Amino acid sequence: MAEIDIIIVSWNVRDLLDRCLRSILAQGGSDPDGDGFAMGADRVRVHVIDNASSDGTVEMVRSFHPWVHLLASAENLGFTGGNNRALPQARGDYLLLLNPDTEMAPGALAAMQQALAASPRVGIVGPRLTYGDGSPQSSRRRFPTFPMALFESTLVEQWFPHNRWARLYRMEDTPEIAQRVDWLTGACLLTRRAIWDQIGPLDERFFMYSEELDWCRRAADAGWQCLYLPQAHVIHHEGQSSGQIVAQRHHLFNASKVLYWCKHHGRVKGELLRAFLLATFAIQLAVESSKWVLGHKRALRRDRIVAYRWLLGTGLRPSPAPKRRPND
């Protein structure tokens, strides 16, 4: 019998979390008890870490999902801090890191667990992700090169979208075939407990974004492999937590990107990337300012000018956790 602990870090996505938990419970064939539920011969436990939500998430979990182990944090610990807080309570052979804005298709969890059990050197498995409308969502990657760091999710990608190098990096061909990959995005990752014991928890300097890239890199350095498993399907309503803090999201994404490059490729490349990203924000600020002067959608331009000025002011360095939504 295998034991699986599912860890979900949630912030202000009550209704989506409810749907997520219901989809998890549907993976089993028995009613839950105080120690989770049975999935065939296996035992599944769920831990929800609420990052000081203000939308009634804690009350919803206590009322409708009493079988869940709930940790209600008084502050926003971030994705990494929340997962790390739950780790001491997880005692299973396998740990599933799952976003609260996901829904697991029937059989997805069992398929991923069976794939790990069948491949001793595979330590991380991720499913096929789709958006809510059924369209495919990119989830598998090669480790980034420096040119790709200058391209991915930057102004340059807006100028040259869907080019062959981006497709190669995102491994967009043959999505229907199970395959070894360098790393997987963190919406749904089933991992072996042995990896956590060997390489340690998530690096909490990555408050949000790039933490799964860093962890998969560390796992690869320790000899573990990642497997993309399209037979397991998970719907991901992407960005429902971070979408509440748009400017902060851009800061967290790019600051984490710089941190990853400083950590794994040296400070020189990390600082070059920081300078490049700040330069792209300066260009975008100039463009938005010009449009404001010309009178084009001034309210929109004003909001973007404020956001780009704030981003430039951060220097893309770490900042405290987001405490509220914009305009609160």
212, 185 Cβ separation under 8 angstroms: yes
CA–CA separation, 173 and 317 (whole Å): 35
Q: Give the whole-angstrom CA distance, residue 62 versus residue 21.
A: 12
Overall pTM surpassing 0.85 (yes/no): yes
CA distances to 15, 71, 89, 95, 302 from 64, rounded to whole Å, are 12, 15, 22, 23, 43
pLDDT in tens, the chain (328 residues): 899 999 999 999 999 999 999 999 999 978 899 889 999 989 999 999 999 999 999 999 999 999 999 999 999 999 999 999 999 999 999 999 999 999 999 999 999 999 999 999 999 999 999 999 999 999 999 999 999 999 988 988 888 888 888 888 989 888 999 999 999 999 999 999 999 999 999 999 999 899 999 999 999 999 999 999 999 999 999 865 555 557 888 999 999 999 999 999 999 999 999 999 999 999 999 999 999 999 999 999 999 999 999 999 999 997 655 544 333 3
- Phi, psi of 203, rounded to the nearest 5 degrees: -80, 115
Res 326: pLDDT: 31
**Domain covering 3-242, topology:** Spore Coat Polysaccharide Biosynthesis Protein SpsA; Chain A (3.90.550)
**Residue given tokens 């009350």 in the structure block:** 59
Residue 328: what pLDDT?
30
- In one-letter notation, the amino acid at residue 221 is D
- The half-sphere exposure of 205 on its side-chain side, counting CA atoms within 13 A, is 12
| Packed helices 267-293 and 298-314: angle between N→C axes, nearest 10 degrees | 160
Would you say 61 and 308 are in contact if contact means Cβ atoms under 8 Å apart?
A: no
Task: Classify burial at 7, counting beta carbons within 10 Å of its beta carbon; exposed 0-12, middle 13-18, buried 19 or more.
Answer: buried
Q: Which long-range contacts (CB under 8 A, 24 or more apart) does 142-149 make?
A: 142/168, 142/169, 142/171, 142/181, 142/182, 143/182, 143/183, 143/213, 143/217, 143/220, 144/169, 144/213, 145/169, 146/261, 146/265, 146/269, 146/273, 149/257, 149/261, 149/273
Each domain of the chain, given as residue ranges in start order, spans 3-242, 245-314
CA neighbor of 318 nearest in space, from 236, 252, 247: 252
Strand-pairing partners, residue 45, are: 5
pLDDT of residue 239: 61
Say what the pLDDT of residue 324 is: 41
Tokens 């599933």 -> residue:
96
Specify the residue for token string 């209600």: 72
| Dihedral sign of CA atoms 200, 201, 206, 212 in order | positive
User: Please, are residues 193 and 93 in contact by the beta-carbon 8 Å criterion?
Assistant: yes
Two tokens, residue 284: 């975008």
Q: What confidence score (pLDDT) does residue 327 get?
A: 31
